[in-house]
Chain A
Amino acid sequence: MKKVAIIGGGATKCGKREATWRELVQEAGKAMFDNVDNISPKDVEALLVGAAQPERFVFQVHVAPMVAEHLGITPTKVIATTELMCASGQAAIRYAWACIASGMADVAVALGVEKMFMPDMAEAQTNMTCVLDREWDGVNAMSAPPFFAMTAQRHMHEFGTTKEQMALVSVKNHHYSTMNPIAQFQKEVTVEKVLQSLMISPPLNLFDCSGITDGAAGVFLVPAEDAKKYTDTPMYIIGSGQASIGNAVNNLASITEWVPLKLAVKEALRTAKISVNDIDIAELHDCFTISELMEYEAFGWCAKGKGGKFIEDGEPYIGGKIAVNPRGGLLGCGHPLGATAILQSIDILQQFRGEVSRGRRVKGAEIAVAHNLSGAANVHSLMVYSRG
């Protein structure tokens, strides 16, 4: 396998955008090509489009060719849409990576996009309710908030985790997102503000939940040996892990311990030939506050059940044990499903390049992980990136 580099990328502003799906694609595509000097649409041989539910949100399928059409890309090796719900963007990165690593293509684009704001928000919520097994879980209105609410309830029940501890995740990630100009949420929140926000699905309040978001982002992948032709500061893919166990609620490995994440972490560390202590930045999938606490535990930065204490002690802040979500996370940046993993990778690249604002910069960062979970947290996907 060839070593693969990400040489640049671009993104839209995320949030409730006054723009259509295809306009988000055009904005991100232009930003992406503007970011790298020596590359044009005609150079792109493989195009992978991360899109979770374009057929429901914008009533359009066969979207990869639309992305190609709007950006003047005419792929000659691979073109496809990748769907893995909340990890659809990482699926695009993984397949683009495979295209380059295998030698099949020399220039690949992974572009993720989601337009989630619809005229009737109940319709958007409907789309989010066919993610778990629609006929056996979705039928009970098991969209993401109820599922993660029950996960949080069990975590609180078994380990004594508190709502205040969960709220601290939202406080941290909103703090960092105020320093990220493309983030959906630009205001600080406090523990009190989180606890007083609209109750969505107890014990989860509104600010325990990531947003409904419009956004798009794209990156270029090339063989590492070619990377310096395009930039002095590429970043490299040095490892990955991905694991999936079960799907319907009955068939999950556990509600309160994300076994597939532990497997994916083990595989990512093994392939990257690093230990968990070598990671400088962790972009973790904080779709809900409880998720991030459980992720500290699965990575092994703290003991099982101690995720709440870990953030109380300030450990996942920059300067703590591990900088978690200095981008602002999904809680702060929003979660445009197909675009999220691409946004994470661009932010890590900018961290390595020292391009992010001082208040959220992780000085001297060399290694970062990007994590996405999907479905009932039955699938976990991880990429490991390095500066050098």
Chain B
Amino acid sequence: MGNIEFEKIKRPENIKLPHMLDFYPLEDEKSTRISQFFKNLKEGRLTTTKCKECGNLLWPPRIICSGCLSDKLEWVDLGVEGELYAFTEMKAGPPLGFVQDVPFCIGMIKIGGLLISARIDDARYEDLKIREKVKLKIVELEDGRVFYRFRRIG
């Protein structure tokens, strides 16, 4: 037993946020064929794909139409103002990467003929009302990627 070696080993104290724990989509042209969505977002435009063949408005943005399987899609603007369909507030149990933001509001928003989920900034649950108007807001991550949120008007 005397010659058994015991050694403490070290692992890195910090690891860069791995892709598998990153909720935000990759948005550059090398990673996705809908990078136009993010380019538009950088210009303050919330857009999605619409089928040129059957007219289906598709969300999330696609490369084929799930209605008729056509790949002839075009980018259309959804506008910048939406209406709250439902909302709640993350008060407990946030995932990694969101812990520092608690509490924060999340909503389902009617905009441009769609119902999409998004974070609602600068508001507490008690402030919000169903059918309240909300406005597009763009957030930029530390690495330059962008994503949409909404905020109260007024």
Contact = CB atoms under 8 A, between A and B. Distances in A.
Q: Do A and B bind each other?
A: yes
A332 to B, nearest CB: 20
Contacts of B96: 120, 122-123, 125-126
B47 to A, nearest CB: 14
B25 interface: yes
Contacts of A249: 108, 115-117
A154 B106 CA distance: 14
B91 A202 contact: yes
A120 B99 CA distance: 12
A246 to B, nearest CB: 10
A199 B89 CA distance: 10
A254 to B, nearest CB: 10
Best-buried of A128, A198, A250 by chain B (most CB within 10 Å): A250
B90 A146 contact: yes
Interface stretch (A92-100, A105-113, A134-142, A233-241): A134-142
Which of the four size classes fits the interface of chain A? 35 or more
A140 B60 contact: no
Interface string B98-131: 1100001011100000111111000001000010
A200 interface: yes
A153 to B, nearest CB: 5
B83 to A, nearest CB: 14
A154 B95 contact: no
B69 to A, nearest CB: 16
B108 A255 contact: yes
A125 B21 CA distance: 11
Contact of A125 (B91, B93, B104, B106): B93
A202 B60 contact: no
B23 interface: yes
Nearest to A123: B96
Interface of A: 120-123, 125-126, 128-130, 133-143, 145-146, 149-151, 153-154, 157, 198-204, 206, 248-251, 255
